[in-house]
Chain A
Amino acid sequence: MKPDGGILVVDDEFLIADLLSAMLEEMGLDVCGSAASAEEAVAAVRRHEPGLVLMDVRLRGARDGVDAAAEINAISSVPIIFITGSRERETVERIEAIRRGSVLFKPVRFDQLQREVLRAIAA
């Protein structure tokens, strides 16, 4: 099963975004684009209308991935998988407050990512 519109990867670290894209492509899924800041992420959602978003919490600029997800939620029903290295309670609580969001903690294994992506697509 492939999500319509492909998958958007949002991460300010090029190497991480590149690795995630490679893992998704290995799963046979399409990556429609990448973004490094909250503003770029929102613009990419408007432009590509992806079927899934992989969202890092720490992004370039003042706004983080949770801010971007809240804005994306307001304009789209696309599911969002947060991928973060932070296990701070405040961050986790903010993520849990986002509708249609789930979370994976770095470092992410291939099988973890695949299971979560398939679950999000099937939902």
Chain B
Amino acid sequence: MIAVLRAGPLLTAQDAGRPGLAHLGVPPSGAADRQSYDLANALVGNAPGTACLEATLGGSALRLDPPAVVAVTGAEADAHLDGSPLPLGEARDGALLELGPCRSGVRAYIAVRGGVDVEPVLGSRSHDQLTGLGPPPFRDGDIVPVGRPGPERCQTPSRCPTPVGETLTVVPGPRADWFTLDGLVSTAWRISPASNRIGTRLEGPPLERLRTDELLSEGVVTGAIQVPPSGLPIVLGPDHPTTGGYPVIAVVRGSDLRLAGQLAPGATVRFRLE
């Protein structure tokens, strides 16, 4: 089990989410930086799709009882295992994991061998910030069950980059012609502190709409850049509503979604149109 000594700003269970249920209004959910999450599992020898902890902004302290193999990936933060530094992307055996605040990126992934074994909901152990599906965020003092380790061997990848980038590659969205794309790509957008797993809100000069008709609700994907009447774009995160009535001007490329999941409040981001 994992005893949560200190949860930090937001500590949730995340896995591969709930794909395939969008037509019932169930968000995809799952780890916001999927590659870092996959890597964390591989490092500790968990099967792909095993639930990890997603520590937003870092700051968590956990006691593993019994001691277990643990790894941290994703956002750059000082991690200590039993008092010794635990480099990002290395798996070690230990009991007390302390994670400092994120210096670069916002979401650290903590994988424990055996995985976070909370009760799945609709096939997933992910907490969904929009709907509340899945286990609620962990609090100080919570006890989190750990699953039985599988037969997988721990992998030792050559590198563990923190996915941080100031430029995200986008492709035109279904309603790109409702705007001029110039405004989107020529602006250094500031990440609003009101951002969360549902969406990353951007601040800057409002985008001007070329069409004023109302859009009928349509399905949207993670990474879609929606433009509400304020003209300030929102990059949809994994817990986004499955349908929306705001036009989607562009969509972040799949390979850059991990960067979108690591955008820090106050930082700037630019978009490159492909």
Bind each other: no
